[in-house]
Structure formats: structure tokens, C-alpha cells
Structure 1
Amino acid sequence: MIYVLFFNLTLLAFRIFYVLYYPIDLSPEEAQYWDWSRNLDLSYYSKPPMVAYMNFLSSKLLGNSELAVRITPILLSFLLSIFTYLFVKKIFDKKVALIASTLPQLTIGYAINSLLMTTDAPFIFFWSLSVMCLYLAFEKNRASLWLLTGVLAGLAFLSKYPAVFLLPISLAYMTLYRRDLLKSPNPYLSLLPAFFLSLPVLIWNYLHNFVSFKHVSTLATKSQELFGLSNTLEFLGGQMLLLSLIPFFVLFYAWVRSLKDRRLIFFTFYSLPVFFFFLVLSLHKRVEANWSGFAYFSGFVLTSYFLSRSILLLPSYLISLILFIFLHFTPLLDMVGLGRLLPPERDPTKFLVGWRELGKRVSRLYTGNELVFSPQYQVTAELAFYTKGNPRTYCINLGRRMNQYDLWKGGMKAYMGKDAIFVSVSPAEERVLKAFDGIIWEEHYRVFWRGKEVGSFYIYKLRNYKGLEESLPMGY
């Protein structure tokens, strides 16, 4: 246990110092979820409310800062690693527990979700705790364990909608391996807290024309094709990177071998079906790499079990550590002559730079009375966080799909007759300029990362807002 604590406390300290001193800003998604926390609600357009609630609490404690936003995933990652060690040690042994609680922390997928405050951070935490509790509930069939499972599952659903996978997977597992539990009242107790915790999301969607479910349905069906092998190869490549190479291949071996071991098959049930679902989906549309990431808690338990008996254990740690370092410090690639492997224009870190400076440039124009708005929700959210005073910012629709800001439009009417600051990734459209009496100031701000231009923003200060006719949302 002492090694696990030392390892994870070291990582915790590293991540805090990284947030405080490394020159990256909040990602657009992080900024948006922080902005949600200033408008607490039962749920939101694209996601359930947990990420907003956690941001609300951390911001109240630490103020509006990058550390306040990112301290939550840092702490959740630390706690999950400790819980994982205790859980796996109880089932297997100390060596497997040590691997399961340390190796994942070095993989790309866990490293990202241990630093960025997106919906994946609380979701992976509560999903993993739900799986642990389910294992114990299946073994002991105590009412208290099933009730706790329901609470954790409900919290997972409040974090992200794929928590619904827990129900069919659990039913399938009981049907095949614990059919006796289907006749017991205890498992059904878990449905009660899960339902009541999910109820606010259902109520919010009922009041908002079920917009969240329309959004999720659109994500699952848009850009579909009959058979797209390129999307599948991209998905598999993404999973390989998320698991930092060797664990990805060991996991396939573990899934096959687990079929002969009743103790291991449980972890296959809570990982393989999720992976397979998104693999099949990738044959028809593009699937983001992180969509299946929650399945790898169970996957890593299996992987750790087999790696503990394999010569691949040390190489797994070494490769994961190397990728971990380059993930956090991508300019090192240029220093060692490997920049072509991940050029600046393809570096995911480029989405984390330039926002603070953009906020400074807007702050020079902002007196506290102007309307601050943009046609991109990403820019809108970043301006809310990085402009001095954290003003209420608005996102206008000039021909795009719906987002959360479309539900917060009413306040713009209060700025009629006032000046405004408009920021976009492209020059202002004519209909935006016609909504004002003229341009007071304009600037083209270019963002550079690793010596290359990776983005730019057009900043305008406009005189006398007269009202703007917007487009209707182009879908969900």
C-alpha cells in the first residue's frame, strides 16, 4: 500500500504543479462546463449536470481558476487508484492490485481524464465504483450492497449517459452466471436509487422537449454510412493510444483467456461489450476515441492480472511512461527530432493554448458594460472564463447545430443600444456588422504553438447594438 500511496501522491503533486505552471489554458469543453456551473440546473443540453455541480463546488472553494476547474479530476483519479488497489487486492493479490492501481495512471486515456475536467472524469470514477460494488453485490447478495450500487449507478448517469450500459450488462451477467439472483428481491433494490437520481435529468428533458436525447441520437446517427473501414481503423488506433500500446493487445488476450475463469469473466462482461458496441458503431460512423474509455477500468483489472505473470510488464510501464511524458510536454518531440510524428497542427495541445491571451486582448476593450458574444460556443465559453470579471457571454446562431447557449438567449435584449465585443474564428459576417452602427476597433490575433500558427481570432469592438436576426439551429 505504501508504494501505491507514494506513486499516486507523486502524480497528484505533479498534476497540480502542471496546472499551475505549464503554459496551457482550459480546453473549450472545460470552459463550457465551468460556465454551466454559473447557471445550475437539473440538466443541460448535451450532458447531465454532475460536471457543473462539481465545478460549482470547486470554484466556490478555490475561485475561478484553472486549478479550481481541474482539481476535481486530479482528486478523483487519486481516489480511484486507491479504491482500485483495495478492491483488486481483495480479489487477487498485492501484485495485481499494485499494477491495476498504477499502470493505468500512466496510460494516455487515464492521464487525460485525470487532468481535464470533462464529463469523462466523474463518469469514469462513478462507473468504476459501480463495477466494484456490483462485483461484491453479485458475490454476497446483500441489500445494502445493491442499494449502494444503485446510488453509484445513479451518480454515473448524472455524469454521462452511457451509464445506461450498466443495466443490460448486469442483466446479461445474471442470466448467464447468477440466475439465482433473478429470483432474489435484492438486485431490484438497486433500481430505486438509480431511478430517483436520474429523475431530475428526465424532468429537465421533459420540460425542454427531450433535447438531450435528440442530441445523443444525432451523435449516434449523423454521417452514417453502410460500411466505413477507415472509421473503424481510426477507432482501433485511438483505443491503442488510449491504452498506451501494449495493454491494448494484452487486453484482447485477457478477454479470450477470461472465458475459462469464472472470477475473470465478470470483468470481461463490463469491458468487452462496450468496446464491441463502439467498434460496430465505427463501421457506420466516426466514433470519438474517448467514447469507450469508461470500459477500460474492468479491462485494466484483467490486463493487470495477466501482466503480473508476463515478461511484458516492464515494457508496458516503460512505453506508457514515455508516452505519458510526451503527452504532457509535446514540445519535447521537436527537441528530440520527432516533431513529424505529431506536427503542431495535429497536436491536441493546440486546443489548450491562446485562450488566456485572447481574454487579455478582449479585456483591454471591455469596460463592464459591453455585450460580449461569438458565433462559436467554444469561444463564448473561453471568453466567459478569461475576460476580466468573468462576464456573461452569449453565442449567436449564424447557421450551426444547437448548443447550451441557445437556451440562454434572452439576456441579449438588455444590451440594446450598447457597444459590443464580437470574437470569431473568421471575419465578421455582414449581418453581424449591420446590427451595429460601425466598428470601433478590430484586430486579427494569431495563436502560435511549437513555433507554428495553429489558430486565429478576429476581434471587433462594435458601436450601438440594434438587434441581430439569427439563424434557426441546424439540428441537434
Structure 2
Amino acid sequence: MSVDTKPQDDMPPEVFRFGVSLLFLVTASRLLVNSNEFYPLHGDEAQYWLWAQELSFGYYSKPPLIAWIIGAFTGLLGDREFVVRLASPLLHLGTALLIYGIGNRLFSRRVGFWGSLTYILIPGVSWSSLLISTDPPLLFCWALSLYALVRAVEAPQKLKWWLVGGVAFGVGLLAKYAMVYFLAGLLLWVVAKRRDLLRMPGLWLMIAVGLAVLSPNLIWNAMNGGATLAHTADNADLGHGVRLDPAKLGDFIAGQLGVFGPITFAALVGLIVVRFKTLWKAEATALLLCLILPSLVLMTGLSMLSRANANWAAVSYVGGSVLVAAMLAEGKRGRMVLIAATVLHVVAMGIGYTYHDLARMAGVEIPYKSDPTRRFQGGRTIGRAVAGVLAERGMPVLMTDQRLLYAQLAYYARPRKQVQWDANGRTDSQFEMENPASQAREDTILYVTRSNQPGALQHFREQERIGAITVPLGKGASETYHLFLLRGLTDPPSKG
């Protein structure tokens, strides 16, 4: 693939080598932060770990790749929190290296360098590197698919890179169904710029291989009532009617400033708006536009109609990093913008990784509601407390009524058997699917709940309140968990 005018690559080799070393240095710093295990696993992270204990081709709310990755790492290195999260910073490093390759082949080594550095330092990646989620494997597969596509189009008659792209595309779908935006962007670009590829087997091979890789998950969905597909559709929350709410657009845009960085996001939007015609004329920049706009535009619209989490447009920023670098890296003023964004992101990363320590050194207690890591607080404490109660009571069956609490207790309390109470008669999680309370009809159950008077009690012949555990979460906040011993399940809620 070529661009209309490819700039001269005048980056000195020593500057390039220093730049690449920065990618590894940033990754090493993130591994060091994670190795401290300061933050307990969030409920979603614990859920992925729990899935990894029984590998499958699908799970209730996500495709299976995240569980496979965690299973591979923990199977080799144990299941400490650091190991559960280990893949995340490594995958982001891999994505940054692929972005370098994309920028280098489409434009120049300078663009590749700035694109990779931009990506690995954006706030969304800095935050994502400290936890395990479906985004790191999705973004890696997106970047690999794009790199393979660029290589394939250079010699479209050869099938090697089309095949690589197809595998990456399919594995990306196994990470998160948002990978389908890649297919939408690819087809848009082909129809608009490269219709000749429609007559070549490579393009269709790539799509066919991707769908073949996904097919075991589709079969799993068919055998389980379309659980993951239905949950993904439910996330859009359009089933209750369309409610236009422009105020939510502001929240979504603010989220994008936080994910991609205020300078880089403003630069990306500004370039697209002001220079769209110029960008669309060149084959390479048109490709990047086609892979940026579908998810970004759709999620922007969805944010006004229902809700759209800030990370739902994250796939746009693989191509976005390359496009911003391509438009800014070759000019002095543009490089000043990139340098300013880099400095801002490094400072933000440094503060974000150390602000608890800085606050402690200053003798300041961070208010709970102002702490961006508040979702991670308490899981380790309640888990270990419940583990003590289980041991004291002879390891009864553990039951909860919330998905995230179920997962956190599974990781930190390690019960011998665990079931999930279904309060509404509707399957809302993997645990309600596979481990309903009906599996413990004749067992003694330790029920841990945030409710002081849970409705589940009326469904058991015997109930005994045995206490409560209050977990401090930070300045001005705590969470109380109520403990009951239950026996003799009579009539669990029926499935509606």
C-alpha cells in the first residue's frame, strides 16, 4: 500500500532505538506496579479467573479468549493477582509494536515511532495495563489484523498475510464481539477505495478464516440459548425504547478525553473534521478513517440514546494513534503537539500509579467517592473474612446473590462449593446458569449478602443470622455484609 506522498524518513537510528526502548521501559514500570498487588481483583477480573478454572468455548457475558489467556498464565505461574493480570501490559506492548509496524509501512519510521509511543502512553492504556479485561487482547488482535492487511495489500495475490489477518480477526472476535467493527471498516474501505480486492480470493479467505475461528463460540451460543450474543445486545440497553439524551453525549466525550488523552483526542477529531477530504483521497489515510469512524460514530450516537461506556470506542484508537502521528510527526509544530501530549500522559501515568503513596506521605486520606480505584476496594478483605467463617463453620456451601461478589469470594475465600441465588427468576450471569442454589437443596449454606433482610430467607426452612462483616473502603465509606446460615431450600424462584 502506498500514500500519495510518502515523507522522507529522517529519524536518526539512535533516536529510533531510544524510542523503542521506551516502550519496554513503560511496560517494565507497569509490571513493577502490578507486582506490588496493591489493588485487589475487581469482581469482573475475579470472574474471568473463575471462568479460567473450567475452560469453555463461551461464557455468559463474554467470548472465551480472556479465560483462555488467564488459564494459560495461571496454569504456568500460579494464580496470584499479579499473574492473573500479567497478560495485560504485555499485550499492550505487543499492540504498540504492531502500531509501529503499521505506521512504518504506511508512512515512515518516524510515524511508526510516534504512533506506538502515543498508544502505549494514552491514559486508557495506562489504566488498562493495571487490570485484566477483554480490551488488551481485542486491541492486540485489531492491530495484528490491520498490520496483516497492510502487508497483504502490498502483494494481494499472495495469501500468507490474508491468512494471518483472518486468524487475527477470528481470535479478536473470540476476545470481544466489538472486533466486528474491523470487518465493517474493512468492507467500507474496499468498496470505497479498493474494489479490485473484491475479485481476489485473499479478502474472502481472510473473512472466511475469521468466521471459522469464531465458529466454536457460535456453536456454544446456539447450545446455550444465545447467552453471550443476547447479553451483548442487552448492554446497549435499547430494549426500553429510544430516549434521546444529549447530556449523555458530554459524558461520553469526556470519557474519550480520558481514554485517548485530551490533546490527542482533540487532535484526532480536529484532523478528521478539518482535513477529511484530504485524508479520504489517500489510500492509507482512508483505510485508517474507515477503521476509526464506525465504532466512534456508532458509540457516540448510542451514548445519546442509551449508554456507551468510555472503553467501547477503544478500537478506534489503534488507527487513531497512527493517524495522529502521520499528520503531526513530520512537521515541527505537529511534533510539538505530540511531545506535549507525551509529557502530559507520562505525568498522568506517574501520578495515577503513585497517588495513594503520595497521599499517604502527605498525610492525606483520599475520600472514597473521589478515588478512581474505589471499585477495587474491599474484595480481598471480605474474601479473607469469609474464608475464616467458612473454616470456623466446617466449610458449608457458600452462596451469594450478586455476580461480582460471587466472583470475588470465589477467588479470595476459595470455598469447597459455591452456588448463586437467583433473585429475579431470570438468568443474569454464568454462575446462575451453572451453579444455581438448587444444587445445594440439602446442604448447609453460608449466605453472604449486602441486604439486611434478603428475600431469599423465605425460601429456606431454617434461617440463622450469624453476624455481619463491615469492610472499610476509604475515607467516609464502608460496606457491610450480612451472614446467614440456611438449610432446606424449598422453592427457588422459577425461571421466567
Tell me if both proteins adopt one fold, taking TM over 0.5 as the criterion.
yes
Q: Structure 1 length normalisation: TM-score? A: 0.91
- Paired residues in the alignment total 467
Q: Structure 2 length normalisation: TM-score? A: 0.88
1:284-363 counterparts in 2 under 5 A? 284-308=305-329, 309=331, 310=334, 311-331=336-356, 344-363=368-387
CA change 1:92–1:430 in 2 (3 A) is closer
Structure 2: any 5+ residue segments left out of the alignment? 1-15
Q: Whole-Å Cα distance in 2 between the matches of residues 180 and 419 of structure 1? A: 68
Offset, 1:336: 11
Q: Whole-Å Cα distance in 1 between the matches of residues 260 and 361 of structure 2? A: 24
1:14-413 counterparts in 2 under 5 A? 14-141=29-156, 142-220=158-236, 221-256=238-273, 257=275, 258-308=279-329, 309=331, 310=334, 311-331=336-356, 344-367=368-391, 369-387=395-413, 389=414, 391-399=416-424, 402-409=428-435, 412-413=437-438
Q: Whole-Å Cα distance in 2 between the matches of residues 420 and 391 of structure 1? A: 12
Check conservation: 1:442, 1:460, Cα contact below 8 A.
Answer: yes
Q: Which amino acid aligns with 1:97?
A: G
Check conservation: 2:441, 2:490, Cα contact below 8 A.
Answer: no
Matched, 1:457 2:480: yes
Q: Which amino acid aligns with 2:351?
A: F
Query: Alpha-carbon deviations, 1:178-235, whole Å to 9, x = none?
Result: 1111112221111222121111111111111212222222222145534210111111
CA change 1:224–1:114 in 2 (3 A) is farther
Offset, 1:260: 4.0
Query: Alpha-carbon deviations, 1:141-186, whole Å to 9, x = none?
Result: 1211111111110000000011112222211111110111111222
Offset, 1:365: 1.0
Check conservation: 1:37, 1:56, Cα contact below 8 A.
Answer: yes
- Between stretches 393-402 and 210-219, larger displacement belongs to 393-402
In structure 2, the partner of 1:13 is: 28
- Between stretches 265-274 and 254-263, larger displacement belongs to 254-263
Query: Alpha-carbon deviations, 1:19-77, whole Å to 9, x = none?
Result: 22152111111111111111211111111100011111111011121112101112111
- Between stretches 184-193 and 418-427, larger displacement belongs to 418-427
Matched, 1:426 2:443: no
Q: Whole-Å Cα distance in 2 between the matches of residues 243 and 154 of structure 1? A: 26
CA change 1:162–1:473 in 2 (3 A) is farther
Q: Whole-Å Cα distance in 2 between the matches of residues 226 and 461 of structure 1? A: 41
Q: Which amino acid aligns with 2:378?
A: G
- Between stretches 10-19 and 324-333, larger displacement belongs to 324-333
Offset, 1:5: 4.0
Check conservation: 1:8, 1:102, Cα contact below 8 A.
Answer: yes
Q: Whole-Å Cα distance in 1 between the matches of residues 178 and 40 of structure 2? A: 28
| SS of residue matched to 1:286 | coil
| SS of residue matched to 1:442 | strand
Q: Whole-Å Cα distance in 1 between the matches of residues 380 and 360 of structure 2? A: 25
1:442-453 counterparts in 2 under 5 A? 442-449=467-474, 451-453=475-477
| SS of residue matched to 1:270 | helix
Query: Alpha-carbon deviations, 1:314-368, whole Å to 9, x = none?
Result: 221122122223333443786799x99x953153301112111111101111136
In structure 1, the partner of 2:488 is: 466
Q: Whole-Å Cα distance in 2 between the matches of residues 144 and 284 of structure 1? A: 42
Query: Alpha-carbon deviations, 1:404-460, whole Å to 9, x = none?
Result: 1121135x55544443222222324153266263436211313322x231x413141
CA change 1:44–1:353 in 2 (3 A) is same
Q: Whole-Å Cα distance in 1 between the matches of residues 149 and 493 of structure 2? A: 48
Give RMSD over aligned pairs: 2.5
Structure 1: any 5+ residue segments left out of the alignment? none
Q: Identity over the aligned pairs, expressed in percent?
A: 24
Check conservation: 2:296, 2:313, Cα contact below 8 A.
Answer: yes
Q: Whole-Å Cα distance in 1 between the matches of residues 227 and 473 of structure 2? A: 37
CA change 1:470–1:102 in 2 (3 A) is farther
**Which of residues 452, 466, 488 in structure 2 aligns to 1:441?**
466
Q: Whole-Å Cα distance in 1 between the matches of residues 492 and 39 of structure 2? A: 33
Check conservation: 2:167, 2:206, Cα contact below 8 A.
Answer: yes
Q: Whole-Å Cα distance in 1 between the matches of residues 70 and 308 of structure 2? A: 27
| SS of residue matched to 2:480 | strand
| SS of residue matched to 2:326 | helix
CA change 1:104–1:442 in 2 (3 A) is same
Check conservation: 1:381, 1:393, Cα contact below 8 A.
Answer: no
Q: Whole-Å Cα distance in 2 between the matches of residues 222 and 336 of structure 1? A: 49
Q: Which amino acid aligns with 1:240?
A: L
Check conservation: 2:37, 2:82, Cα contact below 8 A.
Answer: no
| SS of residue matched to 1:73 | helix
